[in-house]
Amino acid sequence: TPPTKRAGGPGKEEHIRALEGHGSSLGRLAADFAIFLQRYVGVEGSMGKRQDIIKFADGLRAHSLKLRSMADDISFISSSILTFATDQGEGRDEKIKFRRSQKPDHVVSMEPCDYADRKKFDKIISSQPQTVSEFWKNKYEEDAGRNWDLFYKRNENRFFKDRHYLHHIMGKDIKSAILKAKKDGTNPVLMEVGCGVGNTMFPLLTDFPELHVYGVDISKNAIEILQQRPQFKQNSNRSKVWVCDLVKSEIPKEMPPSDISTLIFVLSAINPTGIVGVLRKVLKAMKPGGILFIRDYAIYDLSQIRFGAGSKLEENLYVRQDGTRTYFFSTETLGDMLKEAGFDIIAIEYHRKNIKNAKKGIEMKRTWIQSSSRKPLLS
């Protein structure tokens, strides 16, 4: 219920801020419990033998997601009340319109799709012809940078949306890095591999004013577009970017060691044979104990099911019409790659979302993979 008497009073503000803090703590507690259970269940081949535990884990993760959503709602409502109190002042009694959090509803699971869909999806994927010649496979590899340059030349900064959801899933680790950096007398550093035109960088710079964000990208055009955006110029003292193809080159020496690194829809654009090498370079550029966050496409995603003839290069690897490639991960595949590169896995799971279009009567089943890993303290 919105306050109607002395909405701007200090006692009320303190109460609201405490409510916001309790909501955030509730969400973090649920997330920590889910991660702890993930370690217990594991990501290796025991899933078939322990279906009861897996089902229980999925239920707890779904419950933790609801708790985090409740925490977001509490945070938004309390912010709205404080804004109202500040704007309206004492003695004003106006109605406040509340809205639910815009964070999309989805399911966190250890399975990429429902059992009922798996056979149908497997049949579709197995029937996709693998007819691309070795010449063109090599051509797509050689022209990877050029194809992304052409992509950004056509689309500039209009294709991808800013990822404002990241503070929900990375906020705790970023805040911890900021506190640790303060104690050490250094700047907290986040390294974004595949920064594109700033769709991850700018929301993080806005949400965390003490954070320094540095990025690399294979596309020269993307870097030039990013550098011309006003958000980059406004934060020039906290951000810097370089053109770099991590499959062929090392991370620039000017890049300071990172507390946190991100690969957001980046690894899928790389030939799977080169992914472990890229992960090793990222590991090398991180501080001991640093966190790596990955979000990418997963097997059985709608976009994999929709690929037609002439698109399949290898198992789970496809090429789009513009020459850019995309790979679809399983938790086992990504987990093995992270371990081979030297990371300790904290959590790895599927995020599934059903998007329904009532007007057209269709349902779109999207699946992504998300993981957090740590660089060992002794590596």
141-189: per-residue pLDDT in tens?
A: 999 999 999 999 998 888 888 898 888 888 889 999 999 998 988 999 9
Q: Mean pLDDT throughout 267-294?
A: 96
**Which of 9-13, 80-84, 97-101, 267-271 is least confident?**
97-101
- pLDDT(295) > 50: yes
CB burial of residue 129 (10 Å; 0-12, 13-18, 19+): exposed
CATH at residue 193: 3.40.50.150
> Which of 116, 37, 47 minimizes the C-alpha distance to 330?
47
Cβ 129 vs Cβ 312: under 8 Å: yes
Mean pLDDT of the chain: 81
Where does the pLDDT of residue 325 fall: very low under 50, low under 70, confident under 90, or very high at 90 and above? Answer: very high
- The reply to whether 85 falls in a domain is no
- The reply to whether 143 falls in a domain is yes
- The reply to whether 194 falls in a domain is yes
- The reply to whether 362 falls in a domain is yes
**Which of 69-83, 106-120, 146-160, 182-196 is least confident?**
69-83
- The reply to whether 195 falls in a domain is yes
Range of the domain at 291: 115-375
In this prediction, residue 169 carries a pLDDT of 85
- The reply to whether 75 falls in a domain is no
Q: How far apart are CA 92 and CA 212, in angstroms?
A: 41
228-253: per-residue pLDDT in tens?
A: 999 999 999 999 999 999 999 999 99
- The reply to whether 133 falls in a domain is yes
- The reply to whether 225 falls in a domain is yes
Say how many domains are in the chain. 1
Angle CA 264–268–269, to nearest 5: 100
CB proximity list for 2: less than 8 A, separation 6 or greater:
81, 84, 95, 96
